[in-house]
Structure 1
Amino acid sequence: MTPPMTPPVAPSRVESRTVPGGVGDSAARPDGVLKVTGEFAYSSDLWADDMLWGVTLRAPHPRALIKSIDLGPALAVPGVHAVLTHEDVPGEKHYGLDRRDQPVLAVDQVRYQGEPVALVAADHPETARRARDRIRVEYEVLEPVTDARRAALDPGCPKVHESGNVVRHQPIRRGDPETSGAEVVVTGEYEVGMQDQAFLGPESGLAVPAEDGGVDLFVATQWLHVDQEQIAPCLGLPPEKVRLTLAGVGGAFGAREDLSMQVHACLLALRTGRPVKIVYGREESFFGHVHRHPATLRYEHGATRDGRLVHVKAEIVLDGGAYASSTTAVVGNAASLGAGPYEVPNVAIDAYGVYTNNPPCGAMRGFGAVQACFAYESQMDRLAQACGLDPVEIRVRNALSEGSTLATGQVVDMPAPLTDLLERARAFPAPPPPDRSDARNLPGGVANTTRGEGVVRGVGYGIGIKNICYSEGFDDFSTARVRLELVGGEPAALVHTAAAEVGQGLVTLQAQIARTELGVARVTVAPADTAVGSAGSSSASRQSYMTGGAVKAACAAVREQVVKLAEARLGRTLGEVTLRDGELRADGVAVPLAEILAGEAVEETREYRHRRTFPLDPVTGQGNSHVQFAFCVHRAVVDVDVELGLVKVVELAAVQDVGKILNPVSLAGQIHGGTAQGLGLALMEEVQVSGGEIRNPSFTDYLIPTILDMPPMRLEILEHPDPFAPYGLRGAGEPPTLSSTPAIVAAVRDAAGLPLTRIPIRPEHITGT
């Protein structure tokens, strides 16, 4: 068992009781009404007096040398205040999450279509766009590298970067698959298309020059401090002079981990001495942020005749596009979780993340694990068929449990009730047959395309394993500052973190924890900014665990200070203490917190760290690389018109273990949302890239599920507490995205009787035309 990095807090003699709106309640979101009524201010709504507008000139080619740039015509446009190229970057020319390989503005070449080349600031957005269009760039167009597998494995492939095309190769070796004695062997080749995060609010922000020579940036992001760490060196400023405040975020799903317009807005603001706002349009957004890594996966599963797995072999190639972004971590996830949530004694996996001249790819909900899950779950269905077993039964026979050992050698030392999850999913009652008199119940819907003649029903299952929090030795921590004081004569708590609320309900949860731990009803969550220690990224399903843990720890420290104040005022030592309903209760006496505080404020700041993890061995892939594991099972029921290739998802049922339910309504929303993105990847969502060029940069041609595509959902939530996590919780937002995709595809296979090895499934994959 891996020891915690930081010892747990010693047991406190102070106990708090849940007040209304505390942990376990469906506390209302403070931003909920504003968002529903359209009054919520997103980052694109920011405004400042004397503000300029910034725009970006982007390269039209996926690979080209820059021969010359003529800025003169742009500078001549009335109302233009600045036109910048890489020569105007005062500090470091490159940035990046893991590797500083991405230029702020292209220097001598471009490596993907849409790479930023120049910036313009003007007093009106249309003026800025007209000036941008007058910039003249001479390119020498080169043949792009677009085949990820060739980039990974062919030594003769041209290099996208001088360092080579392989960003990371991670092998996993356990036992010997060649001597496993498999009696049944199934193989498959799978392909996952490029998925977009499709968040509500395009990239936007406002940079304001400060009197101290620094800059204040108000921006929609997922990770304030890592943005700061990348921006400051490019501006040639110390971090303390680059202050970030989280502006309203319209969703993220991983795409806001990377910089987009942050450095550009700051450069223009510092050059002009005026506030500069940049807002991407939807088309530019497709070029301006990372997407989910497309992947090709080759798998071989070996088993005994009764369906017991004896080996898994796999080759996983992930296309990272032009720059590294989070490709190294994506490869680590795909490799370490590539055998799935199953007991397998012999494993040989090779996972590659590579550079190409395709659009850059990085974080998206469930990254790395999503691509692998589609392949290994497809393989389990093939294996079930080859062994003559039910698809649930073969999963039950091989499922991990607490105490199991993963392919990396890591022991699952927390509850892993996979068998129970699977059996519960199988036990859900079947939905009724469709009423074919109503076109809305048939594939094609109200378009009346299908009359039901060629419609066949199918059922499929999927299960996945997802790591929670950051892995492989990353020093992952979160900081919280909690202040308890009297406001208007009432005890009130103020919680301050740098954690990004990106729609997942984190602001609500921080207040719930403070109410529970301090026994007060009045809690305010301060805007997230860099004036407090880092809270890490709102990704990896980690914020409830990490920032929740930090808020809980800071509240515990505040409680101890309150007890000391009470003892000083009462002149005696107290026994067991409870904070509840704005009172301190001890020894049969209740003392209002207002009397204890008496004009004083108690404030504590705490960092929370999870238990230690370790990098995977670069040769064997062995190591305790993950903090926590989460599991979700889906059953999908679909109707397929096998003649027209149309699919209607009739029902999705999900069973998930979350350790501890913190907010039931918010949790259900996370499971529904993750499932919807999995449905999109299964049936409709793909950034179409040909020759390195995006062909569908709009929601007219890039399709995402609507309310008409999402079926009714059945949910069953289990609570098996993780002893290492605050409240025993498990991060819940990502696992549904893994298992919903293979479940839907399995159901379509069941109806159509076809292998269907590529996602998203297109009509021609079903009809063969």
Structure 2
Amino acid sequence: MTETVPPPAATGTAADQGVGASARRPDATLKVTGEFAYASDLWLDGMVWGVTLRSPHPSAWIRSIDVGPALAMPGVLAVLTHEDVPGDKRYGLDVRDQPVLAAGEVRYQGEPVAVVAADHPETARRAAAAVVVGYEPREAVTDPRLSLDVVRHQPIRRGDTFEAEVVVTGEYEVGMQDQAPLGTESGLAVPAEDGGVDLYVATQWLHVDRDQIAPCLGLPPEKIRLTLAGVGGAFGAREDLSMQIHACMLALRLNRPVKMVYGREESFFGHVHRHPARMRYEHGATRDGRIVYVKAELLLDGGAYCSTSPAVVGNAASLGVGPYEVPNVRLDATGVYTNNPPCGAMRGFGAVQACYAYESQMDRLAEACDLSPVEIRLRNAVTQGSRLSTGQVIDSPAPLAEMLRQLDAMPLPQPPPAAAAPDLRLLPGGVSQTTRGESVRRGVGYGVGIKNICFSEGFDDYSTARVRAELVGGEPRVTVHTAAAEVGQGLVTVQAQIARTELGIEDVVVAAADTSVGSAGSSSASRQSYVTGGAVKAACEAVRDRFKGLSPREALAAFGPIEETREYRHRPTYPLDPRSGQGDSHTQLALCVHRAVVDVDVELGLVKVVELAAVQDVGRILNPQALEGQIHGGSAQGLGLALMEEIQVRDGRVLNPSFTDYLIPTILDMPPMQLKILEFPDPSAPYGLRGAGEPPTLSATPAIAAAVRAATGLRLTRVPIRPEDIALSDDGSPEGAPDVQRA
């Protein structure tokens, strides 16, 4: 075990910049100074601009499309509809159900109907608006409870005892959260001499993008070459295609480079979101707080198309009772289609929604059993050797009890001084002076989350790395080449650290990620350090073996350049049984626990998060500074879901597609954080590491919600918690009461 320490000063040696050090990020200076080239900065002589026309209706028949008015405009070069798609008309990550361009109908507001190319982006936008589409609106299915179109239903069945001395029930709801990457969807498609196309794009998954694009263009995959452009955040938003096929279609039609960049409003329509969820839970326990059973129903709104909904449902089901010993489980997780915006991957997908519900239940169970929030969790915490509700044995360290004890021992922040003129910056509402502290109450809450790492349920999850060592100017240099997407998480830095550690060579170059090397899978599921790190490590070991015991300089002088390519796969996983939900579906599990301290103005409904404390087991720290950044970032997104982030959808229409109305946490909203990072190595993982990027997002949300409940005495069964949700009845007593039964 270790606590985080300040990063060591860089000394310039391979050891000091290897695994375990806070190695300097090669892109850090460029990003801080604003010189880093993102995908939206791409430029090529002779390029033209592409723009998408999108449906204003959540559900409608398309009776006609007239592109004539757009084509008649000066500067317009092409207008394409579904009739111009040269190959397959549909694509999709899991199910190929999404039209390249709408044909005959639209199923959500914002669905692409036509694409336009022009010599100026404003001309292209005006031309898109000039396309005349004859819509016949039809009734939209926007309430997931009324949908009969199921994406996936996954039951979990374990045990047969569903009676207990204490029973608590609750219904919970999670709103639709957006990934809100600061860089919008963008890319540049360049036609090639061989009839193919080169696409420079911000994405999370180069090879799967290619494999979806090629059939729609009617081309073999080898003629679609993708190179990762600068990515301004991802969090799942870039797993699905957005403008990729559209830009390539226009480039091939015109034989000219085509650039597409979404504006902020279009970005809200151009990528998937976090699944909204409605969940009903019933927990049964003994009087001393031992869980006997859990019954649960989880309903996830997948929106108009499939995307990753099957995997989201699988995660929600398999992790739906949390990191607790539960001998009897009857759980049903269901994802459905609606005419709402499509939903898919977002940081911690599936597990986030379930975590908010089961952690809310744990607090209510603690109250019913007259135990503290920490004690109820300690009495039911999993450990190594425990079984999940799916029957899978946790076969690596799971120090949840230790994490909870350490969290509970961390000092609480001091209460604000009772000053006549308090510092407004420390109060809910801040310097807007909406309160002076007269109605402010403090609350403390806890949250625990468990998240799968890497892909699950039998997915062939692997990564490929090519490592080349050579002498350059008489000095050894290593080039690492993978297709792994750097999306801001520091993966480029980690690859270089591994090469320095394994080969003892300071000079390491990480080549641009592209499809000329084997797949690295998606930068999601907290998997890249595990699988791409494993691939880089394996390729470096193969290079080192060829040194024949010589130093790198001696070996490269004697043998010339040495290059090795290796694939790395984690141990196999298996699909959940469709009837019982039993199966070893995950390769690794990660835990994070949070404590939140909040101040709430109970009259105005304003909340200030005073402090977040977190304890997380990461197996092995590869880069302390980057790791802390991941925990801070995940906690921020959890805070956003708890208090402010929600896409408002009414009758299938998005009401707030802007950062004016869709609020994300700023530096003024994020509190100071106390962190303790533990190292309990996983023997099955490279270096013993444990994926770390997603777990903080899970536990931050219920901890903050619990703290607000503690401050107000309100049940607050929905996130995000809005100001109007925080209100006291006329006599000052909390509204609502727990549903508790005692035998």
Same structural fold, with TM-score higher than 0.5 when normalized by the shorter chain: yes
Task: Give the secondary structure class of the aligned counterpart of 1:440.
Answer: helix
Partner of 1:75: 71
Cα offsets for 1:307-358 (capped at 9, x unmatched): 0000000000000000000000000000000010000000011000110000
Cα offsets for 1:146-199 (capped at 9, x unmatched): 0112215xxxxxxxxxxxx100000000012xx344100000000000000010
Q: TM-score, normalised by structure 1?
A: 0.92
Alignment counterpart, residue 265 of structure 2, candidates 262, 283, 286:
283
Are 2:546 and 1:550 aligned?
A: no
Q: Is the 8 Å Cα contact of residues 603 and 728 (structure 2) preserved in structure 1?
A: no
Per the TM alignment, residue 131 of structure 1 is displaced from its structure 2 partner at its CA by 0.9
Are 2:704 and 1:749 aligned?
A: no
Are 2:363 and 1:367 aligned?
A: no
Provide runs of 4+ in structure 1 moved above 6 Å: none
Pick closer, same or farther for the CA change 1:266–1:668 going to 2, 3 Å: same
Task: Give the secondary structure class of the aligned counterpart of 1:237.
Answer: coil
Distance (Å, rounded) in 2 between the aligned partners of 1:20 and 1:680: 36
Partner of 2:8: none
Distance (Å, rounded) in 2 between the aligned partners of 1:674 and 1:596: 43
Partner of 1:242: 224
Are 2:362 and 1:380 aligned?
A: yes
Distance (Å, rounded) in 2 between the aligned partners of 1:616 and 1:488: 55
Alignment counterpart, residue 541 of structure 1, candidates 518, 523, 526:
526
Partner of 1:633: 593
Alignment counterpart, residue 40 of structure 1, candidates 17, 36, 40:
36
The within-5 A match list for 1:522-601 is 522-563=507-548, 577=549, 584=550, 591=551, 593-594=553-554, 596-598=556-558, 600-601=560-561
Q: Is the 8 Å Cα contact of residues 491 and 594 (structure 1) preserved in structure 2?
A: no
Partner of 1:9: none
Q: Is the 8 Å Cα contact of residues 486 and 594 (structure 1) preserved in structure 2?
A: no
The within-5 A match list for 1:15-94 is 19-94=15-90
The within-5 A match list for 1:126-145 is 126-145=122-141
Q: Is the 8 Å Cα contact of residues 489 and 594 (structure 1) preserved in structure 2?
A: no
Distance (Å, rounded) in 2 between the aligned partners of 1:610 and 1:645: 48
Of 599-608 and 649-658, the range deviating more from structure 2: 599-608
Partner of 1:11: none
Task: Give the secondary structure class of the aligned counterpart of 2:547.
Answer: helix
Partner of 1:622: 582
Distance (Å, rounded) in 1 between the aligned partners of 2:24 and 2:60: 52
Partner of 1:587: none
Distance (Å, rounded) in 1 between the aligned partners of 2:681 and 2:555: 37
Q: Is the 8 Å Cα contact of residues 440 and 602 (structure 2) preserved in structure 1?
A: yes
Are 2:175 and 1:193 aligned?
A: yes
Per the TM alignment, residue 596 of structure 1 is displaced from its structure 2 partner at its CA by 4.3
Pick closer, same or farther for the CA change 1:278–1:296 going to 2, 3 Å: same
Alignment counterpart, residue 491 of structure 2, candidates 489, 506, 514:
506
The within-5 A match list for 1:298-697 is 298-435=280-417, 437-563=422-548, 577=549, 584=550, 591=551, 593-594=553-554, 596-598=556-558, 600-697=560-657
Task: Give the secondary structure class of the aligned counterpart of 2:311.
Answer: helix
Per the TM alignment, residue 594 of structure 1 is displaced from its structure 2 partner at its CA by 4.2
Distance (Å, rounded) in 2 between the aligned partners of 1:595 and 1:307: 64
Cα offsets for 1:688-742 (capped at 9, x unmatched): 0000000000000000000000000000000000000000000000000000000
Amino acid at match of 2:581: G
Pick closer, same or farther for the CA change 1:736–1:592 going to 2, 3 Å: closer
Per the TM alignment, residue 686 of structure 1 is displaced from its structure 2 partner at its CA by 0.2
Amino acid at match of 2:84: D
Cα offsets for 1:120-157 (capped at 9, x unmatched): 000111111111111000000011100112215xxxxx
RMSD: 1.0
Per the TM alignment, residue 768 of structure 1 is displaced from its structure 2 partner at its CA by 5.9
Identical positions, percent: 77
Q: Is the 8 Å Cα contact of residues 595 and 614 (structure 2) preserved in structure 1?
A: yes
Task: Give the secondary structure class of the aligned counterpart of 1:651.
Answer: strand
Alignment counterpart, residue 171 of structure 1, candidates 147, 155, 175:
155
Partner of 1:7: none
Q: Is the 8 Å Cα contact of residues 486 and 599 (structure 1) preserved in structure 2?
A: no
Partner of 1:721: 681
Distance (Å, rounded) in 2 between the aligned partners of 1:182 and 1:433: 40
Partner of 2:101: 105
Alignment counterpart, residue 258 of structure 1, candidates 240, 246, 253:
240
Amino acid at match of 2:454: C
Gaps of 5+ in 1: 1-16, 153-164, 564-576, 578-583, 585-590
Amino acid at match of 2:171: E
Amino acid at match of 2:181: F
Task: Give the secondary structure class of the aligned counterpart of 2:612.
Answer: strand
Distance (Å, rounded) in 2 between the aligned partners of 1:768 and 1:390: 24
Task: Give the secondary structure class of the aligned counterpart of 1:462.
Answer: strand
Pick closer, same or farther for the CA change 1:346–1:127 going to 2, 3 Å: same
Alignment counterpart, residue 95 of structure 1, candidates 77, 91, 95:
91
Amino acid at match of 1:509: V
Distance (Å, rounded) in 2 between the aligned partners of 1:20 and 1:642: 51
Distance (Å, rounded) in 2 between the aligned partners of 1:473 and 1:149: 30
Per the TM alignment, residue 200 of structure 1 is displaced from its structure 2 partner at its CA by 1.1
Distance (Å, rounded) in 2 between the aligned partners of 1:659 and 1:370: 21
The within-5 A match list for 1:198-209 is 198-209=180-191
Task: Give the secondary structure class of the aligned counterpart of 2:17.
Answer: coil
Cα offsets for 1:631-658 (capped at 9, x unmatched): 0000000001111110000000000000
Q: Is the 8 Å Cα contact of residues 470 and 556 (structure 2) preserved in structure 1?
A: no
Partner of 1:125: 121
Distance (Å, rounded) in 2 between the aligned partners of 1:631 and 1:766: 30
Task: Give the secondary structure class of the aligned counterpart of 2:133.
Answer: strand
Distance (Å, rounded) in 2 between the aligned partners of 1:180 and 1:291: 35
Distance (Å, rounded) in 2 between the aligned partners of 1:307 and 1:502: 43
Distance (Å, rounded) in 2 between the aligned partners of 1:707 and 1:693: 30
Per the TM alignment, residue 609 of structure 1 is displaced from its structure 2 partner at its CA by 0.2
Cα offsets for 1:460-515 (capped at 9, x unmatched): 00001000000000000000000000011100100000000000000000000000
Per the TM alignment, residue 750 of structure 1 is displaced from its structure 2 partner at its CA by 0.3
Task: Give the secondary structure class of the aligned counterpart of 1:196.
Answer: coil
Are 2:672 and 1:712 aligned?
A: yes
Task: Give the secondary structure class of the aligned counterpart of 1:392.
Answer: helix
Q: Is the 8 Å Cα contact of residues 469 and 556 (structure 2) preserved in structure 1?
A: no
Aligned residues: 714
Per the TM alignment, residue 592 of structure 1 is displaced from its structure 2 partner at its CA by 5.7
Task: Give the secondary structure class of the aligned counterpart of 1:300.
Answer: strand
Amino acid at match of 1:139: Y
Distance (Å, rounded) in 1 between the aligned partners of 2:631 and 2:14: 25
Per the TM alignment, residue 434 of structure 1 is displaced from its structure 2 partner at its CA by 1.6
Task: Give the secondary structure class of the aligned counterpart of 1:182.
Answer: coil
